[in-house]
Structures are given as structure tokens and as C-alpha cells.
Copies of this chain bind each other. A is one copy, B any other.
């Protein structure tokens, strides 16, 4: 029995050894230099400051996004990066930004309201005062109840919730057990892997109803809609758009979202039969001089005769929502990939493959910037045609899960990438990054690459207060950025990119995915 146990242990160790042995030797001296530059000479917080506090909110097409794109280009050029450019990825639509936002309750008493116009909605253009009507639509026939009753009225939607006390902390890091679970994850069998069919979700139904309701309110002569009010607390609210950014989108009513505490108070007063009067003074601006969308691109050219036409990419989306400065979504990722490039350039590395960084735009509207890039450079999903760069791109690394440090990496089911990343992460165990999981993660720009068979990866990051306080909120400000976390992330990002650029082979690709996506 004992002998069998020993044999088993030996076998396990051999397997582990074999797996790791498959990956080439890592240049540990360079990793050490990257660590020193990234951890001790960091500029990541200064970069983040310029992208957030200095540039402002970076909604697609806004002046804030342009500020940040311009600053990033200047900075890349200052560092001596090559081919620095603002590359159009296609037509986006209208930019939009806020020029004034004031809201207050005036009856039953005065109280300024915390909130913001919803993106792409019209402003009131001057002081608007009105009584509030609570509108509840559960089925189409309910509209009749409000016919003739909304003229000159402010409409508030019936989004009642109970704001619960916070008995758990807003901010958390992954615990060992969470990471162990991720590391142990096994991909389901192929037959179970079919993409889930689109289904009519609660959210979808709500959107349809909301669209109808908006039209109805406009037809009836209402003057403003208050929506939202269900997420966030303590002055933090979650924001979104209230209309389309399309060039031909019709003008909508001013629409406002606000702190749940203020929203719910209005509902309670109305439900108790009290008269509630509000005043608004909001002004929004549509920008359509240039309706294209752009990504910022820059490079460190490859130096190996045979491999320099090949690429490794890193990226993060630079656009944000409008109620704050998008510090964790995704000033953090943008600052980290910029800082990774700065580190590599400061060390004057001579990569074999070309390293290309991208700061995407319009991720928040559906990964538009990275999808546009993929379509122009890599593969056209409609025509199923592969472009020449498709064969040349080794891998794409993305960062977009907030300010939390890197704890490992998602391989999106790429089994061959696992031992490679495991080896690379050996240098970062002391910085708490060691987990490689086969798991997929979604919601950001690596998906655009993964969809056409390019190895595209997002790192595992500590969650911090991303879900509770920062993601799409009015409180996604510079204050949420944790310097030590971002330094660590930039160091690991730079190392992964460097290792990918120096490797003899391109990163292994998932066979299955490529054949199913593009035939």
C-alpha cells in the first residue's frame, strides 16, 4: 500500500514536472528588471491621474475621451514608442456630454438631489419645475390609466426597493479557497459547450417596456422621466444610457437617474398621497462633428528578423460612463497597459516580436472598438475571411476588472496555455499571483479576439469594491485606485507581454474555437 502511494506521488510530480518542462526557459534577469522598474519606479498612479482627474468622464465620443486619447498619444510619443496613432475603427455615432446638472425637490420641502442625466438624453435647457406623477406599468393595458394625466408632469417609475444595511464589507479580495476552486476548474465536455441561446431575460423585457413608456410619456406631454433608483446606496448610484447614440436617434425626453435614497423618498411620499414638486436645470450636448470611433495604438517594434512581423498585443478600454471619471472601469486597466509599455521601453528591451498596445473605445457600448480593430486587422466575421495579421498575432492580454491586483489568469479553455502561464507566474507567487484557470471570463475586449480564434486573455483580479461601489457608478473616481495593486498588475502585464514576444513559438491556439467560429 505504501509503495503504491509513493509511486502515485512520484507519478504526480513527474506529470507536473513534464508539464512545466514543456515551456521554454524564462529570462529571469529581465523579469527581475521589470519587477524593479514596475514596483519601484512606477508611474502608474500619475498616468491614472491624467486619464481620470485631468481628462474627466470618458463616455464614447465625448471631450473627456478625446482628452485622454490625446494625452495617451502624447505620452506614448514622449516615451519613444513607434507608430503612435489614433486609429479609426468605424462609425460610432454621436458623442454626448453634460454641461449642467442640477436637481432638487421643492415640495414638500427643499432638498438637493444627487443624480445625473442619463447618457444621450436631452437636457431641460433652463429651469424646469413640475409636479411628479408615479407611473406603474405592469401590462400594456395599464397605459390607459395615465392617458391625459402626464401633461407638464415629471414622471417617476415605480422602482420600489428596500435599501438594506451593509453587514458585509464593500471591498474584498479573493481568498485561497476561491483561487483553488478556479485552479481546479475543468472544462465541461464538448457537447455541453454550445453557446447559450439568446433568451428573453427580465432585463430585456424591462427594456422593451421602458422604450414604450418613454414614447408614451413624450406623446402625453410629460417633461422629464426619473428612472433607475434601484442600485447603489449612501450616495453611490449606478448609471447608464437613456437613449441611443445613433445619428438618426430621435430626440427623447430629459431622463434623470438619482441616488436610491432620494429616489425612494419621492416614491414613499407619492405613495402616501403627498404632493412632490421637483426642479431641474440640465443641459446636455451632442457632438457629431466627427462620428467615427477611435482606438489609440502604439508599438515597440520587434527586432528578430524572422519574428518581427509577428505581434503580441495588450489592451484595455479607455472609454467610461459619464457620472464619474471611470477610474476602475477602466482607467485602471488603461493605466496598467500604458505603464507596462513604459516599463518595457524604460528597460530598452529588444523584443523579438512587435509589441502593440491598444486603448479601445466604446467597450461600454458592446466592445465596439476592439471588434472594429479585429474586423480591420484580423478576421471579418461576416465574410469569414481571415486577414494576413490573423496568422501573425500571438496573443492579446486585457485588463478590465477594476483596481484589484492580479491573482492569476483566465485561459478561456486554452489547455495548452495553462503550463506556459503557470511557469510565468512562478516569478509572481510572492506578489499573490499564481492561479491559472481554464475558466472563461466575459464582458470585455479579449472576447473580440477569442471570437476569431486568437488567444485572448483577461487576468484574474481581486474584486475589491468593483461590484458594490465603482463599476458604472458616480463614485468610480481616482480615490478607488489602489497604487500597490496597479503597480503589481503593470509588472505582471509587462512580463507576460515580454515573455510572449520572446518565445520561440507563438502562443498555442484553441483548435475547436477557431473552426467553430470561422470556417
4 residue pairs, one from A and one from B, having the closest CB atoms:
A235-B235, A56-B109, A163-B479, A165-B171
Closest B-chain residue to A233, C-beta based? Answer: B479
Given A165-B171, A169-B166, A235-B236, A478 and B104 touching (CB < 8 A)? no
Given A163-B479, A235-B235, A475-B261, A57 and B111 touching (CB < 8 A)? yes
Closest B-chain residue to A173, C-beta based? Answer: B167
Kindly state the separation between the CA atoms of A475 and B234 in the bound complex, as whole angstroms.
6
> Residue A427 at the B interface, CB < 8 A?
no
| Binary per-residue interface labels of chain A (118-130) against chain B in the complex, 1 for a CB within 8 Å, 0 otherwise | 0000000000000
Cβ contact within 8 Å between B101 and A112: yes
**Can you spell out 21 A-B residue pairs with CB atoms less than 8 angstroms apart?**
A53-B272, A64-B109, A101-B110, A102-B102, A112-B116, A114-B235, A165-B465, A166-B170, A167-B171, A169-B169, A170-B170, A170-B234, A233-B475, A233-B479, A234-B475, A235-B235, A235-B236, A235-B259, A261-B475, A261-B477, A264-B478
> Residue A100 at the B interface, CB < 8 A?
yes
Chain B residues within an 8 Å CB radius of A166: 169-171, 465
Which A5-55 residues have C-beta < 8 A from chain B?
49, 53-55
Kindly state the separation between the CA atoms of A168 and B55 in the bound complex, as whole angstroms.
32
Chain B residues within an 8 Å CB radius of A265: 53, 325, 477-479
Kindly state the separation between the CA atoms of A57 and B166 in the bound complex, as whole angstroms.
24
Cβ contact within 8 Å between A54 and B272: yes
> Residue A212 at the B interface, CB < 8 A?
no
> Residue A359 at the B interface, CB < 8 A?
no
Q: How many copies of the shown chain assemble into the complex?
A: 2
Which A230-265 residues have C-beta < 8 A from chain B?
233-237, 259-261, 264-265
> Residue A82 at the B interface, CB < 8 A?
no
> Residue A508 at the B interface, CB < 8 A?
no
Chain B residues within an 8 Å CB radius of A172: 167
Residue in contact with A111 in the complex, picked from B56, B268, B281, CB distance below 8 Å: B56
Kindly state the separation between the CA atoms of A467 and B458 in the bound complex, as whole angstroms.
39
Cβ contact within 8 Å between A53 and B269: yes
Cβ contact within 8 Å between B110 and A54: no
Closest B-chain residue to A112, C-beta based? Answer: B101
Closest B-chain residue to A235, C-beta based? Answer: B235
> Residue A342 at the B interface, CB < 8 A?
no
Chain B residues within an 8 Å CB radius of A281: 102
Kindly state the separation between the CA atoms of A100 and B116 in the bound complex, as whole angstroms.
17
Chain B residues within an 8 Å CB radius of A237: 235
Cβ contact within 8 Å between A165 and B112: no
> Residue A274 at the B interface, CB < 8 A?
yes
Residue in contact with A269 in the complex, picked from B54, B100, B171, B268, CB distance below 8 Å: B54
Chain B residues within an 8 Å CB radius of A465: 165-166
Which A59-118 residues have C-beta < 8 A from chain B?
63-64, 67, 97-102, 104, 108-112, 114, 116
> Residue A464 at the B interface, CB < 8 A?
yes
Chain B residues within an 8 Å CB radius of A235: 114, 234-237, 259, 474-475
Which A269-321 residues have C-beta < 8 A from chain B?
269, 272, 274, 281
Count chain B CB atoms within 10 A of each CB in A237, A265, A478 and give the residue with the most.
Answer: A265
Closest B-chain residue to A269, C-beta based? Answer: B53
Residue in contact with A57 in the complex, picked from B57, B109, B261, CB distance below 8 Å: B109
Chain B residues within an 8 Å CB radius of A475: 233-235, 261
Which A161-196 residues have C-beta < 8 A from chain B?
162-163, 165-172
> Residue A227 at the B interface, CB < 8 A?
no
> Residue A469 at the B interface, CB < 8 A?
yes
Query: Smallest distance from the beta carbon of A273 to chain B beta carbons, Å?
Result: 11
Given A102-B102, A234-B234, A469-B234, A167 and B169 touching (CB < 8 A)? yes
> Residue A380 at the B interface, CB < 8 A?
no
> Residue A482 at the B interface, CB < 8 A?
yes
Given A234-B235, A234-B475, A479-B261, A108 and B54 touching (CB < 8 A)? yes
Closest B-chain residue to A115, C-beta based? Answer: B112
Cβ contact within 8 Å between A165 and B100: no
Cβ contact within 8 Å between B104 and A110: no
Chain B residues within an 8 Å CB radius of A474: 235
Query: Smallest distance from the beta carbon of A294 to chain B beta carbons, Å?
Result: 19
